[in-house]
């Protein structure tokens, strides 16, 4: 069904029928329930804390397990936040937090996998692109520069790429 057909169908329904359909969607589909729960009670602070806890758990596990270092965990949260329409500042904060917690980990443990560093560079590029698109890069400039400086201080294999990204917008 196209969006146009859906619109036509919805205009044919009366208010009670529309309410019944929305309630049925709410009961049947978890994503619809999550969306409406967020819209009517946006506990962004709780969402951020949960996301940051799970991201940091990838690097510093609470239960003594080995660190997994999965970028996909943060990507899942970010995609979910964007879908819900969470504030851009919060999304940017979580994007940068992911890189900062990874840098905290690499300051304590040596990583030899170039894929890890490439993944962090991809995260950094995505964060910069997102912040530029939302016109909020200036508000996060100090953290972005600090991340770049930390890659240099820790001698990451791709420190020059981080530096080149930051040089593009520094004035």
Instruction: Check if the beta carbon of residue 82 is closer than 8 Å to that of residue 91.
Output: yes
The residue assigned the tokens 């040089």 is 167
| Helix/strand/coil percentages in the chain, nearest 5 | 80, 0, 20
Q: What is the pLDDT of residue 31?
A: 85
Maximum Cα interatomic distance, the chain, rounded to a whole number of Å: 64
pLDDT > 60? residue 171: no
**Does residue 19 sit in the same domain as residue 4?**
yes
User: How far apart are the two ends of the chain, measured CA to CA in Å?
Assistant: 50
pTM of the model: 0.82
Average pLDDT of the chain to the nearest whole number: 91
**Does residue 77 sit in the same domain as residue 29?**
no
**Does residue 118 sit in the same domain as residue 140?**
yes
List, for residues 106-123, the tens digit of each pLDDT value: 999 999 899 999 999 999
Report, as an integer, the average pLDDT of 121-126: 96
Report, as an integer, the average pLDDT of 132-144: 96
Report, as an integer, the average pLDDT of 144-160: 96
**Does residue 95 sit in the same domain as residue 140?**
yes
**Does residue 61 sit in the same domain as residue 21?**
no
**Does residue 82 sit in the same domain as residue 6?**
no
Range of the structural domain that residue 78 is part of: 45-169
**Does residue 36 sit in the same domain as residue 50?**
no
Report, as an integer, the average pLDDT of 50-56: 93
**Does residue 55 sit in the same domain as residue 37?**
no
Number of separate domains in the chain = 2
Q: pLDDT band at residue 170, thresholds of 50, 70 and 90?
A: low
**Does residue 146 sit in the same domain as residue 159?**
yes
As a whole number of angstroms, the distance between CA 57 and CA 98 comes to 11
Q: What is the pLDDT of residue 37?
A: 83
In the chain, the percentage of residues whose pLDDT exceeds 70 is: 99
Report, as an integer, the average pLDDT of 21-36: 88
Answer with the residue of higher pLDDT: 19 or 41: 19
**Does residue 52 sit in the same domain as residue 37?**
no
> Lowest-confidence range among 64-73, 85-94, 124-133, 153-162?
64-73
Nearest CA to 98 out of 38, 142, 141, 147 is that of 147
pLDDT > 80? residue 62: yes
**Does residue 77 sit in the same domain as residue 17?**
no
**Does residue 63 sit in the same domain as residue 117?**
yes
Q: pLDDT band at residue 1, thresholds of 50, 70 and 90?
A: confident
Q: What is the pLDDT of residue 32?
A: 87
Report, as an integer, the average pLDDT of 102-109: 95
């Amino acid at each position: 069904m196209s969006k146009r057909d859906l619109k036509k169908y919805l205009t044919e329904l009366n208010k009670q029928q529309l309410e019944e359909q929305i309630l049925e969607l709410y009961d049947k589909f978890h994503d619809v329930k999550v969306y409406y729960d967020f819209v009517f009670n946006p506990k962004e602070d709780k969402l951020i804390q949960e996301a940051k806890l799970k991201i940091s758990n990838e690097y510093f596990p609470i239960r003594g397990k080995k660190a997994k270092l999965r970028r996909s965990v943060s990507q899942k949260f970010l995609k979910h936040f964007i879908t819900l329409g969470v504030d851009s500042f919060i999304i940017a904060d979580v994007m940068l937090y992911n890189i900062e917690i990874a840098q905290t980990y690499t300051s304590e443990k040596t990583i030899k996998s170039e894929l890890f560093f490439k993944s962090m560079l991809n995260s950094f590029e995505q964060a910069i692109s997102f912040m530029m698109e939302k016109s909020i890069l200036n508000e996060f400039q100090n953290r972005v520069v600090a991340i770049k400086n930390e890659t240099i201080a820790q001698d990451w294999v791709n420190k020059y790429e981080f530096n080149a990204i930051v040089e593009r917008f520094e004035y």
